[in-house]
Amino acid sequence: MSGWRPDFLPADAQFARQAKRLRALVGQQLIEAWTVWFVDDDWFADLPVVLRFDTGAQLEIAWEKFDDLSITWDTIDVGVPPVAWVERPLEWRRNADHALLSRVGGVVTDIRATRGVLETQSVDDPSDTRARWLTTGVWLATDRGDLRIFNALDENGLDSEAVDPDSPCGWRAL
């Protein structure tokens, strides 16, 4: 993909590295959101979600595996058709997803990491269960509502539902 150099790290490490710059988005207006689509209309959720702000900042977010997050800035040229490992033709589309379109024009009022509990169970011994907190998404509050770009198990997911502060999943400040 034109210019993009993924920087995948465990999500908590990535947030620690990027926290200051992410917090600086508060007060900025989201002016465009770009996603990669198969030309025949399906969203290709494996490639980054690109958010552009009125200050010229361009945030590029991609999730993979259970906990790997890439946050890059100002590297992707959405004017160049994306290329990936798939054989079907791809294209960038501006504001193509409802969760993104409904937030374009909004001013960022807060940014946090969302989290949830990952529970596993042994196949051999069902009573052997383990649980741990897992950082699961980037949550942006805007004056037009919430936007979450989350780990959809080895690809990106988008959600515009409000994050419930009383949920056992919840969020944490950056």
* 3-class DSSP string for 120-139: EECCCCCCCEEEEEEEEEEE
Q: How far apart are CA 78 and CA 91, in angstroms?
A: 9
Q: How far apart are CA 128 and CA 113, in angstroms?
A: 29
Task: State residue 2's pLDDT score.
Answer: 77
The residues near 16 (Cβ < 8 Å, ≥ 6 apart) are none
Task: State residue 13's pLDDT score.
Answer: 97
pTM: 0.91
Give pLDDT tens digits for 16-62: 999 999 999 999 999 999 999 999 989 999 999 999 999 999 999 99
